[in-house]
Amino acid sequence: MKLKYSLFVVLASTILNTLALAQSDRAQNPIIWADVPDMSMIRVGDTYFMSSTTMHMSPGVPIMKSKDLVNWQIVNYAYQILDDVDALNLDNGKNAYGKGSWASSIRYHNGMFYVSTFSQTTGKTYVYSTKYIEKGPWNEVSFSPSLHDNTLFFDDDGRVYMITGNGKLRIVELNADASGIKPGGEDKVIIENASLPAGNNIMLGAEGSQLFKVNGKYYLFNITWPRGGMRTVVIHRAEKITGPWEGRMAFQDLGVAQGGMVDTPDGKWYAYLFRDFGSVGRIPYLVPMKWEDGWPVIGIEGKVPETLDLPASNGLIPGIVASDEFSRLKGDPALPLIWQWNHNPDNSLWSVTQRKGYLRLKTGRVDTLIVSARNTLTQRTFGPECSGSTSIDVSNMKDGDFAGLALLQRKFGMVGIKYSNGSKTIVMVSAQSGKPIEVQNIPLTRKTIYLKAYCDFRERVDIASFFYSLDCKTWTQIGSQLKMEYSMPHFMGYRFGLFNYATKTPGGYVDFDWFRVK
């Protein structure tokens, strides 16, 4: 009996190990466990390109590239700054948190790549175009009004359109080069209530339009949200772009919604969608799709699968997030593409050349809070767990300066160095209550300090902890844990942020030796 039991245990263990190994060789959902919302995706030959939303960050509209739909890397941005206005510059008490540019649309037409977006901040619609999506240069055109959640579409007959709106969807014809609205062109409502397939009790009208043409028919993807329910995919189809359109509720599982569809070179189809996932942000999923009676059918028996028949992920480092030693060879860009500034930077106040191998952040004005200070350099946090650490030389701070490492959102947390009345202290600040509170401070007599922030996004625990070290070997927790919260108006997952701002006298600076993610 013992022998039979032992053989059973060995056999069961072998099967489980084999299944685990098989799963590890396959892609898993979410495809990217980081804030990459409002994806728009195309395939050009055997290469996929994706654009996304980063709103108030600069540079903006990240362009990502993949060969397998799973492993992505940032290869460019559509713009360096969206516009030069107070809200985007964090000037005169204004900001663009949760605004800036929203859902983009990426297209490839006649050898040119196009990316469109829109902005409530400026009241404009933007179209960027280039032959070389990874290197540019980009040509920019903008026009009024701001066409909400627009999908750019080049039809087979040479006409160019955008479909835009919330609930009530409208078609607007553009000039042939997508440079503006075509005088006398098509401009009318094509669907009076695009949410209707999901019912009458709706809390979010259908938006996030993405338009496709397959086998001569038009397919329009939208997200809507029934009250008391979950984020839902609605699809409409038509024989003509102007309609009439017929709609269906296409997918409803885990709140995974908003996006479109893409095919592989070997004929497989996937819906690319995203999911609200707490403080880490809005994270992308791939869901297998097939065709039945001329309609896209999303999911495996209507559900999001945990694994996919695609290659396994190699991880988000270094394609989406990355460490940086701030050492630059001749010809290197000043900052790798994983970095974005919180709002438009003041380029006169930062450098990676003034001290070789360091990022220097210099103060140029007086601020009271990190969320109003310019030149906070950020990159995404990521799940299920992550940490970011840095080394800072604080010997050139001025009285009133505060520099360090933040987890940036409305309810931010910070660990850093404050210089006040001739002495420096290591400080942990928490804005969990909605207002910043200095939780703990410890005297510092050294010129170099090491700081770390750790995030736990497992099962939406959304807890962060902060640490300091004097030797980069022994780490000591400081202050309290931060209960992270994805909240408005930032409308973005938490980000690591390197910061330095003055509260009394501008002109001081700190040097960051490195930033490392794990």
Query: Model confidence over 184-235: pLDDT tens digits?
Result: 999 999 999 999 999 999 999 999 999 999 999 999 999 999 999 999 999 9
DSSP 3-state of 249: strand
Mean pLDDT of the 11-28 span: 55
Phi-psi region of 9 (alpha: psi -120 to 50; beta: other; left: phi over 0): alpha
Q: Which residues contact 16 (CB under 8 A, 6 or more apart)?
A: none
Q: Is the pLDDT of residue 4 over 50?
A: no
CA–CA gap between residue 500 and residue 417 (Å, rounded): 9
Contact criterion met (CB below 8 Å) for 284 and 32:
yes
Q: Is the pLDDT of residue 55 over 90?
A: yes
Question: Which of the pair, 37 or 22, is modelled with greater confidence?
Answer: 37
- Helix, strand and coil percent figures for the chain, each rounded to 5: 10, 50, 45
Mean pLDDT of the chain: 95
Phi-psi region of 42 (alpha: psi -120 to 50; beta: other; left: phi over 0): beta
Mean pLDDT of the 141-160 span: 98
Contact criterion met (CB below 8 Å) for 221 and 235:
yes
CA–CA gap between residue 262 and residue 260 (Å, rounded): 7
Residue with tokens 């991880």: 315
Architecture of the domain whose range is 27-311: 5 Propeller (2.115)
DSSP 3-state of 179: coil
Q: Is the pLDDT of residue 326 over 60?
A: yes
Residue 13: per-residue pLDDT: 44
Residue 438: per-residue pLDDT: 98
CA–CA gap between residue 126 and residue 129 (Å, rounded): 10
Contact criterion met (CB below 8 Å) for 102 and 115:
no
C-beta atoms surrounding 58 within 10 Å:
20
Confidence band, pLDDT 50/70/90 cuts, at residue 390: very high
Confidence band, pLDDT 50/70/90 cuts, at residue 385: very high
Residue 44 corresponds to which tokens in the numbers above?
């050009």
Residue 20: per-residue pLDDT: 41
Name the residue among 70, 179, 58 with its Cα closest to residue 121.
58
Q: Is the pLDDT of residue 475 over 70?
A: yes
Contact criterion met (CB below 8 Å) for 391 and 448:
yes
Residue with tokens 């995030």: 455
CA–CA gap between residue 87 and residue 455 (Å, rounded): 30
Confidence band, pLDDT 50/70/90 cuts, at residue 16: very low
Mean pLDDT of the 470-490 span: 96
Architecture of the domain whose range is 340-517: Sandwich (2.60)
Q: Which residues contact 326 (CB under 8 A, 6 or more apart)?
A: 352, 357, 358, 359, 512, 513, 514, 515
Cα-Cα-Cα-Cα torsion 284, 34, 341, 58, nearest 10 degrees, comes to: 0
Residue 8: per-residue pLDDT: 44
Residue 81: per-residue pLDDT: 98
Q: Is the pLDDT of residue 7 over 60?
A: no
Percent of the chain with pLDDT over 90: 95
| Parts of the chain belonging to CATH 2.115.10.20 | 27-311
C-beta atoms surrounding 363 within 10 Å:
27
Residue 344 corresponds to which tokens in the numbers above?
């438009």
Element (H, E) at 21: helix 2-24
CA–CA gap between residue 300 and residue 289 (Å, rounded): 8
Q: Which residues contact 478 (CB under 8 A, 6 or more apart)?
A: 415, 426, 428, 439, 440, 442, 466, 467, 468
Residue 157 corresponds to which tokens in the numbers above?
């007959």
Confidence band, pLDDT 50/70/90 cuts, at residue 23: very low
Q: Is the pLDDT of residue 22 over 80?
A: no
Q: Which residues contact 447 (CB under 8 A, 6 or more apart)?
A: 393, 394, 395
Q: Is the pLDDT of residue 114 over 90?
A: yes
Q: Is the pLDDT of residue 364 over 50?
A: yes
Residue 24: per-residue pLDDT: 67
Name the residue among 53, 49, 95 with its Cα closest to residue 75.
49
CA–CA gap between residue 452 and residue 493 (Å, rounded): 18
| Parts of the chain belonging to CATH 2.60.120.200 | 340-517
Q: Is the pLDDT of residue 2 over 50?
A: no
Specify the range with the lowest mean pLDDT, choosing from 5-9, 44-48, 294-298: 5-9
Name the residue among 205, 287, 219 with its Cα closest to residue 253.
287
Backbone angles phi, psi at 198, to 5 degrees: -95, 5
Q: What is the pLDDT of residues 66-104, one digit of tens each?
A: 999 999 999 999 999 999 999 999 999 999 999 999 999
Q: Is the pLDDT of residue 21 over 60?
A: no
Please, is 131 exposed, middle or buried when counting C-beta atoms within 10 Å of its C-beta (0-12, 13-18, 19+)? exposed
CA–CA gap between residue 175 and residue 160 (Å, rounded): 7
Mean pLDDT of the 253-279 span: 98
